[in-house]
Every structure is written in C-alpha cells, then in structure tokens.
Amino acid sequence: MGNVPVRREQIRHHMTKFMAWLNANGAEIGQPTNPYEVIRYRAYWRNTHRAGVHIIYAKENGLLTWTGGSLGHFRAFLAGEPMDGAAKVPAIAKPADVESEAAKRRRKLLARDGADCWFCGLALGSDATIEHLVPKSKGGGNRLDNYALAHSACNQAAADKPLVEKIALRESLRAKSKETV
C-alpha cells in the first residue's frame, strides 16, 4: 500500500486513477464548488443505502484535509480494494431504470433554459454545472427556480456573489462572447 499524500502536489498524479476507481465503485463525481476543493464526490457509506458527500480540500499552503469518508476511500484505492467492502451500490437502493435526482434536475433545466451557459451564452459541454442564482450562503434555496446551468469556470467566477452582481457578470461575459464570435 502506498503512502497517503499530505499535499496537493502529491495527490495530483493519483487523481485520474482515483476518479476512475470512484466511478467503478459507484460514486458520482461532482464539480468543485471553490478553488480549495481537490475533488468532490457522492458515494454510499459503509455498506448502507445512505449516500454522503466526500471532499478532499487543499489549504492555501497545499496541505490536504480529508472530509467524510474520503481518507478511507483513498486508502482503499491505494490498497486496490473496493470502496467500503462493496463494489457498487445494491440494485435495491437505486435501480438502473430510476433516474437520479441530479439527472432529473439537469433534464428539467435543459428543457427550460436550453443547452447554453446562463452566464456566457455559449454551448455547454461536459463541464456543465448547476449554479444557484441566489447563493445558498445568501439564503437561496435548492429549488428549480433558483438553478441555472453554467460552465464550471463561469460558475466559479460567480462564486457566492449576489444575484445583481451575477447579472452584471452575465452581461459582461455575453458581451465578450459576441466579440470573439
């Protein structure tokens, strides 16, 4: 078993294989929500039907902080073992023919808003994220009317700005997009 990395630069060369291992073990990889997140993913807890969010953070000085079960998962990855003793979530917990809540949300947003980024107006790709228009930190809820699809970079540029500032950012990014077209 290899050593667990303690700094951001030590974990970088593991990330592609670690993400593939997470996918193979039934985890859902998410988009980082801030620049300190090295990886964010949703996975099931130790042989249960209860999912949790696991995050590896890197502090400004590069030291890693492991939350949820991320340290245990990384150790299992290094040892070549399955996640928490179970390779995949049992079919009873999430049948293959049932659409996930995240997939339903994305489908509804695509139907409502189209396949362009809410901020820059360019076509979305594999880096599409769900943006809270009114940030959760400012009282915004987890509701469809508070969501918009955005490129990961646009979402990170918006951060937790108030909606008025996000609209100004949108106007600026759309003007730049028209100049480059």
pLDDT in tens, 111-160: 888 889 999 999 988 888 889 999 888 888 889 999 999 998 999 999 88
pLDDT of the residue at 173: 92
The distance of Cα 133 from the centroid of its chain, to the nearest Å, equals: 17
The predicted model gives 51-60 an average pLDDT of 89
* Residues forming CATH 1.10.30.50 domain(s) in the chain: 101-180
Non-local (6+) Cβ contacts of 108 within 8 A are 144
Q: Domain 8-85 belongs to what architecture?
A: 2-Layer Sandwich (3.30)
pLDDT of the residue at 93: 47
**Residue 98 tokens, joined:** 């049932």
On whether the CB atoms of residues 80 and 64 are closer than 8 A, the answer is no
Largest CA distance in the chain: 53
The SS3 call for residue 37 is strand
* Residues forming CATH 3.30.310 domain(s) in the chain: 8-85
pLDDT of the residue at 31: 85
- pLDDT class of 82 with cuts at 50, 70, 90: confident
The predicted model gives 88-103 an average pLDDT of 57
Model confidence, pTM: 0.48
Does 53 score more than 80 pLDDT?
yes
- pLDDT class of 89 with cuts at 50, 70, 90: very low
**Average pLDDT of every residue of the chain:** 84
Non-local (6+) Cβ contacts of 13 within 8 A are none
Q: Which CATH class is domain 101-180?
A: mainly alpha
